[in-house]
Amino acid sequence: MEGLGASARCPVQEQRARWERKRACTARELLETERRYQEQLGLVATYFVGILRAKGTLQPAERQALFGPWELIYGASQELLPYLEGGHWGPGLEGFCSHLELYTQFAANAERSQTTLQEQLKKNKRFRRFVRLQEGRPEFGSLHLQDLLPLPLQRLQQYENLVVALAENTGPNSPDHQQLTRAARLISETAQRVHSIGQRQKNDQHLRRVQALLSGRQAKGLTSGSRWFLRQGWLLVVPPRGEPRPRMFFLFSDVLLMAKPRPPLHLLQRGTFACRALYPMAQCQLHRVFGHSGGPCGGLLSLSFPCEKLLLMSTDQEELLRWHRSLTLAI
């Protein structure tokens, strides 16, 4: 009889049961994490944004730069949570999608927010004392404001993972299937835009850092245009005659910059680099001369440009392979 029962199982019903179990687990996680998220949003909105507005410790422009649309994001969570608690996943998440632009705005302001926080902590004694007092409240559980500021961007990634999983485990005949599918698509698109904003901000930070390290006419204007920073590091330049010379190389999406370190005794520019050459990657032909075997002996890279040929050497073959991959991307 047991064998007959096992053979009589319906694969379709078993699949539906698996979907329902996964859906219930995902829905429960979404609800529980939303409660915690809203609680943390509320702590910042109450004990920081609201009190700072009342006390006037920060100017309105500074407060806006620091928190961006935080209170509006908090309001969006307050709208969403009752739907989740009532099990109305489709209508709740579809309505929530009208607030997704707030997360894009928050991401665009993230770098400015961190800069404002560091500046105010450094120069504003009243603000520094206020932050220390608020962070000491038991409600925050030893969390610092700096830890809480990225919370909406972290939550957006959670939204994407959970809502996509919820949509995938909702049967096509379910009344909220279409709503959940639309919500998953819109949240994923927003998460991708936010990721792109974050990548551009990191790239801008790299460009400014490199610009500050370099001097020389050829090094000016590195932060302009749509240039992307790829990598930097020391390589040995092998001349036709004589000993190899160590040089610092900065690789961007369109150019390779070779620089020489300033003398350590230079009073004003110690720790910086003088630009020696700028090579357009669109005109580069790249070859590995030796170092193919993956051994510990390093190797050579040959870069040919219309007016010059570079022979670059490293005793670390893994590092040379990483350079080879990055150079290949830039060509």
pTM here?
0.83
- Mean per-residue pLDDT, 60-69: 97
pLDDT of residue 206: 92
Q: Which residues have a Cβ under 8 Å from the Cβ of 73 and sit 6 or more positions away?
A: 41, 99, 102, 103, 106, 152
Domains of the chain: 14-212 (1.20.900.10), 216-330 (2.30.29.30)
44/83 Cα distance (integer angstroms): 23
- Mean per-residue pLDDT, 32-59: 96
- Rounded to the nearest 5°, which phi and psi values hold at 130? -60, -45
The model's pLDDT over 247-306, given as tens digits with 9 standing for 90+, comes to: 999 999 999 999 998 887 665 667 789 888 899 999 999 987 766 544 455 788 999 998
pLDDT of residue 8: 52
pLDDT of residue 21: 86
Count of Cβ atoms closer than 10 Å to residue 282 Cβ: 9
- Mean per-residue pLDDT, 28-45: 97
**Residue 234 predicted with pLDDT over 70:** yes
Collect contacts of 220-225 with beta carbons under 8 A, ≥24 apart: 222/252, 222/257
Cα 279 to chain center, whole Å?
A: 29
pLDDT above 70 covers what percent of the chain?
91
The model's pLDDT over 100-129, given as tens digits with 9 standing for 90+, comes to: 999 999 999 999 999 999 999 999 999 999
pLDDT above 90 covers what percent of the chain?
69
The CA angle 96-101-103, to the nearest 5 degrees, is: 85
Mean pLDDT lowest for which of 35-49, 165-179, 208-222, 275-289?
208-222
Q: Can you spell out the DSSP letters for 117-156?
A: HHHHHHH-HHHHHHHHHHHTSGGGTT--HHHHTTHHHHHH
Element (H, E) at 73: helix 70-85
More confident residue, 154 or 274: 154
pLDDT of residue 269: 65
